Structure 1
Amino acid sequence: MKKKFIIIVCLLFISLTTIIIFKNISNTEKEYFKDITYEQLKEMETEDYVLFVRKDGCMPCKSITPYVNKLSKMANYNVVSVRLNNLNNSDTFQNELHINGTPTVIRFKNGVEKNRVFGMVNEETFFGDLGVKDYEKK
């Protein structure tokens, strides 16, 4: 009787934990940046912008999306996104911009790379590595 109770409690705990994890994973907030194509990106080659390179299903990409959103809401930053899953010529794109994986966020000034963030990082590192000084920490 005691064993059955322990087994039921363990199964309930595992079930609830699984539900909570999947609920958090599926929570997606509104994105304040726009997805663009490789061709559209090439047209921006003399502009100031921040490029967020990501893949669908990439958990590190999802983890930094709130930081990218925060950056895109700031007045001085034009943030765009390229999804590697949607590119026909992703190898060319990755070679030209030296993309070694996702997520990669690159800040361009007059079309020239100034700063880069690669991988899953915390908020302070994200904004610090991109050279953004005018953000408010949570």
Structure 2
Amino acid sequence: MHSTSCSHCKKVTPIVIPMAQKLKIDLKLINLENYSETGWDEFNIDATPTIVHFKNGREDKRIVGELTEKAYELWFKSIKE
């Protein structure tokens, strides 16, 4: 989940999108600005950026905030295991 007005999202998006493509992870971007207040509650979002991994229709893992490229790489690899 991200917001186009979020400065952290603007820094993270150019890192995680190519990384997900390289690792063959189906990453969907959901702009919370399109959901108004309901998106934050619906997805239990406290801050952006937030990446949520769903497994069998349920949340499996999430990573929140502007982190290092290595942190995202390790997280993406952990969901592939």
**TM-score class, shorter:** 0.7 to 0.9
Rounded to whole Å, the distance in 1 between the matches of 2:80 and 2:71 is: 11
- Asked which structure has the greater RCO (Cα within 8 Å, sep 6+), the reply is 2
Alignment of 1:74-89 (within 5 A): 74-75=23-24, 77-87=25-35
Say yes or no: does 1:109 pair with 2:55: yes
**Structural RMSD (CA):** 2.1
- What is the deviation of 1:96? 2.3
Secondary structure of the 1:61 match is helix
Paired letter, 2:43: L
Report if aligned partners of 2:53, 2:79 keep a CA contact under 8 Å in 1.
Answer: no
Say yes or no: does 1:125 pair with 2:71: yes
Q: Choose from 72, 97, 105 the match for 2:21.
A: 72
Task: Figure out how many residues of one structure are paired with residues of the other and give that number.
Answer: 79
- What is the deviation of 1:124? 1.5
Unmatched runs of 5 consecutive residues or more in structure 1: 1-52
Aligned to 2:43: 97
Q: Percent identity?
A: 32
Report if aligned partners of 1:108, 1:114 keep a CA contact under 8 Å in 2.
Answer: yes
Deviations 1:26-64 (A, max 9, x none): xxxxxxxxxxxxxxxxxxxxxxxxxxx111121110111
Structure showing greater radius of gyration is 1
Unmatched runs of 5 consecutive residues or more in structure 2: none
